[in-house]
Amino acid sequence: MCIDADSALQRDSLREIVAPVIEDDSVVAVGGLIRPANGIALKDGRIQTYSLPRKLIPAMQVLEYDRSFLSARILLDQFNGNLIISGAFGLFRKDIVIAIGGYDPTTVGEDMELVTRLHVFCRGNEIPYRIRYAPDAICWSQAPETFGGLIRQRRRWHTGLFECMIKHARLFANFRYGTVAMLSYTYFLIYELLSPIIDLFGLLTVLIAFLFNFINVPFMIVFFMIYACFGAVMSLTAFFSRVQTRDLRLTVPDDFRAILLSLFEVSIMRFILAVVRMLALIGYRKHKNVWEKAERTKLNAS
């Protein structure tokens, strides 16, 4: 089992992450749910107090994490298609990991690269296997508190994704590797790796259309508001479902903050981070062997 030094497990997390292994002998790896620990207090693995972080950057990440872990990973888990187990909390079958050579020290996205290599190895050698996601195995991890720290983290993530996509390019449109190649690899290639290009190209197209009077401005504004509301509803659904299923309590001000932050995250912060990820692609050679650290605050756990 791997866990980051700046993380803490919930009291029942070990039981939850090992459950898929007990249920199915073919399971070779299980990933847990990562949630930002900013704004919480843990004692003996139990949450004592829970609130949205006071600072904008970590509070926005709370919504972002809940949306990503409660949507894409659950969907990919249905057809054994998860390509990433977060380095913050994961369980692996040791003999298989040793057989494929363990973590690759030449990449900054070693967690995703290892899981992708597990898929390639098991499918290439026709070994029955499953890589699972355990949404109730919760690991509380520190999220960057500053904008600079967030930029360095996301640049490293995108550089690691780029490295993984290049290293395992054999998966692209390769029917031999089944749904992992046809669905998972394609999803991460287009929706994750190339999404900043698509996002920024879309903004540029809208700007040019506006300058040449090719666009209906009232319709554009309404369309963007619908898009922002839809994205906010997805974030809030994931966030509040996590709050309710874990019997956590939020104050009324935190409820309103979550609503406002969800709109900010999907309409503004997303495009700021798209620029960061675009620059990560452009500066790939400069950052490919650099582990960019983000400042951390002390975890409130005992």
Cβ atoms within 10 Å, residue 102: 13
* Rounded average pLDDT over 250-257: 91
Residue 293 has pLDDT above 70, yes or no: no
Residue 288 has pLDDT above 70, yes or no: no
Residue 294 has pLDDT above 70, yes or no: no
Q: Which of 70-74, 118-122, 175-179, 242-246 has the highest mean pLDDT?
A: 118-122
Parse the chain into domains and list their residue ranges.
2-287
Residue 192 has pLDDT above 80, yes or no: yes
Residue 300 has pLDDT above 90, yes or no: no
Radius of gyration of the chain (CA): 20
Alpha-carbon gap, residue 267 to 232, rounded angstroms: 9
Residue type, position 179, single letter: T
pLDDT at 287: 62
pLDDT at 270: 87
Q: Which of 160, 159, 181 is nearest to 170 (CA)?
A: 181
* Rounded average pLDDT over 225-246: 89
Residue type, position 181, single letter: A
Residue 249 has pLDDT above 80, yes or no: yes
What are 200-218's pLDDT values in tens digits? 898 899 889 989 888 888 9
Residue 62 contacts residue 39 (beta carbons within 8 Å)? yes
57 Cβ neighbours under 8 A, 6+ residues apart: 143, 144, 145, 146, 147, 149, 150
pLDDT at 82: 95
pTM attached to this predicted model:
0.90
DSSP the chain: -EE-TTEEE-TTHHHHHHHHHHH-TTEEEEEEEEEE-TTEEEETTEEEEE---SSHHHHHHHHHHHHHHHTHHHHHHTTT------TTEEEE-HHHHHHTTS--TT-S-HHHHHHHHHHHHHHHTT---EEEEEEEEEEEEPPP-SHHHHHHHHHHHHHHHHHHHHHTGGGTT-GGGHHIIIIIIHHIIIIIISHHHHHHHHHHHHHHHHHTT-S-HHHHHHHHHHHHHHHHHHHHHHHHHHHHHTT----HHHHHHHHHHHHHIIIIIHHHHHHHHHHHHHTHHHHTT-------PPP-B-
What are 88-106's pLDDT values in tens digits? 999 999 999 999 999 998 8
Both tokens of 89, joined, read 């909390």
Using left for φ > 0, alpha for ψ between -120 and 50, and beta otherwise, residue 173 falls in left
In CATH terms, is domain 2-287 a member of 3.90.550? yes
pLDDT at 291: 65
pLDDT at 5: 86
Residue 234 contacts residue 34 (beta carbons within 8 Å)? no
* Rounded average pLDDT over 110-115: 96
Residue 259 has pLDDT above 90, yes or no: yes
Task: Report the mean per-residue pLDDT for the chain.
Answer: 90
Q: Which of 116, 115, 136, 128 is nearest to 29 (CA)?
A: 115
Residue 133 has pLDDT above 90, yes or no: yes
* Rounded average pLDDT over 130-151: 93
What are 13-25's pLDDT values in tens digits? 999 999 999 999 9
* Rounded average pLDDT over 33-40: 90
Q: Which of 68, 2, 6, 11 is nearest to 29 (CA)?
A: 2
